[in-house]
Chain A
Amino acid sequence: MPTPDYRLSQLETLEAESVHVIREVAAELERPVLLFSGGKDSIVMLELARKAFAPARIPFPVMHVDTGLNFPDVLEFRDKRVAELGVQLIVASVPDAIAAGTVKEEPNGSRNRIQTPVLLDAVEEHGFTALFGGARRDEDKARAKERVFSFRDEFGQWDPKNQRPEIWDLYNGRIHLGESIRVFPLSNWTELDIWQYILREQIAIPALYLAQEREVVERQAMLYAVNEFIAPRDGEQVRRETVRYRTVGDANLTAAVLSEATTVEQVIAEIAVTRMTERGATRGDDKVSDAAMEDRKKEGYF
């Protein structure tokens, strides 16, 4: 409820800003699509989109770039949430693209890079002009410099040296044929804001964000739960630990963290005192180089 001095709290301010951005895109761009993976950030983004147009339905489809390396929990959650909201789900499949020969599997097993051409092909096929992504500026230093409306050329490329100035909240969504805008409604949210909002709004999340005992192996100081994509290698000891996932990426490369948090409140308490960034703590794929994210973004990655 409004306070007597007409101030919004931090979460209400962020919520209002995001809703404004989402509505602006729906008003100005012809064919938007919202990238929805079933991860916590895209769950919050989808909830904000629901709020932006309630009581009407969300006026655009959602899309998942499916690497084929998903946690089953998360896929199940994705389908359930999409059905509840009555939105159309488009799946852009990396395994299909590999089978068709349009992309090649990389030797390190990561499909992080090869999902970009799959994404760009789907954008072209459906004629999408605006793509909502759940990226936050606090995630990575390349992201810290990205606009809320991020202009991309016909190849989906980001040119960090030549971004459109973004002044006040007057967003410029004008594009030529073939170009598109990546839109980041969660730009100013931090990881903690996301969790506090999930708590405040009682938003459902996949169970793997909460701690449970799992069989894990340790690789490069990170704990990977044994699953259909991760088998113990020679010399690796399988042990049982209570862990949760802090991020949800590809199941073959996303590590879990030791945790006792079985409720969202407890997750918040743990994150408040953690001394590692979420990507640093859980992502094998960002360790390649200091500028890994910057390089991927220039190629059209989110």
Chain B
Amino acid sequence: MTPEKPVDVHSPAEQAHDLVLARKDILRIATAGSVDDGKSTLIGRLLYDSKAIFEDQYEAVERASKGDYVDLALLTDGLRAEREQGITIDVAYRYFSTPRRTFVLADTPGHVQYTRNMVTGASTADLAIVLVDARRGMLEQSRRHAFLASLLRVPHLVVAVNKMDLVDWSEEVYERIRDEFTAFAAKLNVPDLTVVPISALNGDNVVTRSANSPWYDGPSLLHHIEHVHVASDRNLVDARFPVQYVIRPQMLGPENAALHDYRGYAGTVASGVLRSGDEVQVLPSGLTTTIAGIDGPRGPVDEAFAPMAVTVRLADDLDVSRGDLICRPANAPHAVQDLDALVCWMADEPLRPRQRIAVKHTTRTVRGVVKELAYRLDVNTLHRDPSAPELGLNDIGRVKLRTTQPLFVDDYARNRVTGRFILIDEATNATVGAGMLTAAG
């Protein structure tokens, strides 16, 4: 069977008009689940029904489909090795849009390297979709995915109970899974949980509400991700501006006279709001000054907020360089050399106490040493094992690090930007871990 005719989300004329004029925002989504849960089919369905699939792509899938229906799952398997082995190797990024929003979807494979991939996909996500097969209910893997999303502090979690058609759209089955998941999520940091019964294969409750689930009064999946409120997810309180690059025009000659004294600190606002005229403090020096002006991509702006990439000019001529941080004097991050963090380990060679490692935090990279592995966390049971001697590939544990220079940090729960870091192996240069600070200091 071929998928039903795509639902006309909007007419071509409307779409064109919208695309020229509309101001939309971006919602970043991570999806998790295994091939068996129908994740690829769901993504194929979302792309197809929102018309992000073009005819030539669809024809290629049609040619590649085995059996008598068009396998939308093939839309997302990119690499030759994946098609040959029937597995998904790496995170893939997909793009689709509706008149309300555009979506960047990080599709994370469920089997191979699941922790590493899910952490990568979820790290930037506003919302995570975890798929559950209605026939099998909540499995260990579903718990694991929900846990990883909560660990990364993805603000919104959606559980899509898929293959509802195979359980005859049983309200009871849906409610059992919903209640079980809600109880589990209560133990995690999941501020917003939505459970949607769907059939990805047939499109029920994906784009529009389905007549097959009269007992379900919630939104379709697409409606939910189009409308979910994300404005309050960000930290607009704590002004944090890590200096990324110093701009000093080296353009001589009288025509550039106005630029001879220009010195700007370029960077991306991590959190909070910076305004021209604000009194600010520069770390690590601790010196204070005021913001003389802020230059955005289209010239001066009065204020800057995350994630704007701007250039800040200061009233006084201070010695400021990459890795420094600009904040408000009364609201500064903690300057620490002892880090206490949950670390996801992503290398074959295990992490062990006394190991030396580079730490990249905002725009500052320092050397460090692993002081202690407090415990390894079992991502299935949430059990803590303090006797674990090391963290292996895809393990998560609580780690204490000591760095050669101070870092300017906040708790990850309060600030997703200044509360995170990556670990780099100094010999191989590989990225080997991701860390989330659990308590500042």
| A168-B123, A277-B56 known; A138-B424 Cβ under 8 A | no
CB contact list, A180-212 vs B, under 8 A: 187-188, 190, 192, 196, 199
Question: What is the bound-complex CA distance between A54 and B249, given in angstroms?
Answer: 8
With A167-B120, A172-B360 given, is the CB distance from A141 to B309 under 8 Å?
no
List chain B residues, Cβ under 8 A from A27.
Answer: 244-245, 322, 363
- Cross-chain contact B54 with A274 (CB below 8 angstroms): yes
Q: Which of B25, B102, B119, B268 contacts A20 (CB 8 A)?
A: B268
B54 close to A188 (CB less than 8 A): no
In the bound complex, do residue B94 and residue A144 qualify as a contact, i.e. CB atoms below 8 Å apart? Answer: yes
B90-A53 in contact (CB<8A): no
Q: Which residues of B contact A169 (CB under 8 A)?
A: 124, 268
The chain B residue with its CB closest to the CB of A160 is B79
Q: Which residues of the partner chain B approach A172 to less than 8 Å between Cβ atoms?
A: 360, 422, 424, 429-431
Q: How far is the CA of A142 from the CA of B267 in the complex (A)?
A: 31
With an 8 Å Cβ cutoff, the count of chain A residues facing the other chain is 68
Docked CA distance A16–B307 (Å): 7
Q: Does B93 interact with chain A (Cβ within 8 Å)?
A: yes
What per-residue 1/0 map shows which CB atoms of A138-161 lie under 8 Å from chain B?
A: 100110110000000000000011
B262 x A199 contact (CB < 8 A): no
| In the complex with contacts A174-B424, A175-B429, A199-B303 CB distance below 8 A | no
The answer for the CA separation of A196 and B26 in the assembled complex, in Å, is: 15
* B residues near A138, Cβ cutoff 8 Å: 95
Does B421 touch A at the CB level, under 8 Å? yes
Q: Pick the most buried of B26, B81, B123, B434: most chain A CB atoms within 10 A of its CB.
A: B26
B78: min CB distance to chain A, Å: 4
Q: Are A190 and B92 CB-contacts (below 8 A) given A16-B308, A277-B54?
A: no
**What are the interface flags for B244-268 relative to A under an 8 Å C-beta threshold, 1 for contact and 0 otherwise?**
1101111100000001001000111
CB neighbours of A188 from chain B (8 A) = 93, 95, 104
User: B60: CB under 8 A from chain A?
Assistant: yes
Quick check: is A83 within 8 A (CB to CB) of the other chain? no
Which chain B residue has the least Cβ–Cβ distance from A196? B19
**B12 interface contact, C-beta 8 A:** yes
Identify which of A5-13, A71-79, A231-239 touches chain B. A5-13
Interface size class of B (residues with CB under 8 A): 35 or more
Interface check A109, CB cutoff 8 A: no
Report if B139 contacts A (CB, 8 A). no
Contact yes or no, A272 B297, CB < 8 A: no
In the complex with contacts A165-B116, A165-B431, A145-B309 CB distance below 8 A? no
A96 within 8 A of B: no
Smallest CB-CB separation from B304: which chain A residue? A2
User: Does A280 lie within 8 Å of B303, measured CB to CB?
Assistant: no
A66 close to B (CB within 8 Å): no
**Cα–Cα distance between A175 and B425 once the two chains are bound (Å):** 11
Residues B56 and A280 in contact, CB atoms below 8 Å apart: yes
Contact B89 A160 (CB under 8 A): yes
Q: Which residue of B lies closest to A15 (CB)?
A: B297
Decide if A24 touches B244 in the complex (CB within 8 Å).
yes
Answer whether residue B57 sits at the interface, using C-beta atoms and an 8 A cutoff.
Answer: yes
Q: Is B168 an interface residue (CB 8 A)?
A: no
CB distance from B301 to the nearest CB of A (A): 7
Determine if A168 and B420 form an interchain contact, defined as CB atoms under 8 angstroms apart: yes
Check: B55 CB closer than 8 A to any chain A CB.
yes
Q: Is A281 an interface residue (CB 8 A)?
A: yes
Given A8-B25, A167-B123, A168-B420, are A199 and B431 neighbors across the interface (CB < 8 Å)?
Answer: no
Question: What is the CA–CA distance of A187 and B231 in the complex, to the nearest angstrom?
Answer: 24
Shortest distance from the beta carbon of B360 to any chain A beta carbon, whole Å: 5
Instruction: Verify if B16 is at the interface (C-beta below 8 Å from A).
Output: yes
- Known contacts: A19-B309, A138-B95, A277-B57. The answer to whether A199 contacts B20 by CB under 8 A is yes
Q: Does B73 contact A (CB under 8 A)?
A: no
Which residues from B are CB-within-8-Å of A145?
A: 78-79, 89-93
Residue from A16, A23, A24, A276 in contact with B55 in the complex, judged by beta carbons closer than 8 Å: A276
Question: Given A137, A187, A276, A294, which contacts B54 in the complex, CB threshold below 8 Å?
Answer: A276
Q: Which residues of the other chain, B, contact A141 by a CB distance below 8 angstroms?
A: 77-79, 92
* A275 in the interface (beta carbon within 8 A): yes
Instruction: Determine the residue in chain B with the shortest Cβ distance to A163.
Output: B90
B236 proximity list for chain A (CB < 8 A): 6
Chain B, Cβ-Cβ closest to A274: B54
Contact between B120 and A8, CB atoms less than 8 A apart:
no
Please tell me if the beta carbons of A10 and B116 are within 8 angstroms of each other in the complex. no
Those of A3-56 within 8 Å (CB) of chain B: 5-10, 12-17, 19-20, 23-24, 26-27, 51-56
- Contact status B54-A142, CB under 8 Å: no
B94 CB contacts on chain A under 8 angstroms = 144
Could you tell me the distance between the alpha carbons of A142 and B245 in the complex, rounded to whole angstroms? Answer: 32
Q: Given A16-B308, A55-B259: A26 and B89 within 8 A (CB)?
A: no
Q: Do A55 and B249 form a contact, CB below 8 Å, given A145-B92, A188-B93?
A: yes
Give me 11 A-to-B residue pairs in the complex whose CB atoms sit less than 8 angstroms apart, sorted by A's number: A6-B234, A16-B297, A20-B309, A142-B79, A144-B92, A168-B416, A168-B434, A169-B124, A174-B429, A188-B95, A291-B80
Which A positions have Cβ atoms within 8 angstroms of B? 1-2, 5-10, 12-17, 19-20, 23-24, 26-27, 51-57, 137-138, 141-142, 144-145, 160-161, 163-170, 172, 174-176, 187-188, 190, 192, 196, 199, 265, 268-270, 272-277, 280-281, 290-291, 294
Given contacts A142-B79, A164-B430, 8 further A-B contacts (CB under 8 A): A7-B25, A23-B244, A52-B309, A55-B249, A55-B262, A165-B431, A168-B124, A168-B420
Interface residues of B (CB under 8 A from A): 12, 15-17, 19-20, 23-26, 54-57, 60, 64, 77-81, 89-95, 97, 102, 104, 116, 119-120, 123-124, 231, 234, 236, 244-245, 247-251, 259, 262, 266-268, 273, 295, 297, 301, 303, 305, 307-309, 311, 322, 346, 358, 360-361, 363, 416-417, 420-422, 424, 429-431, 434
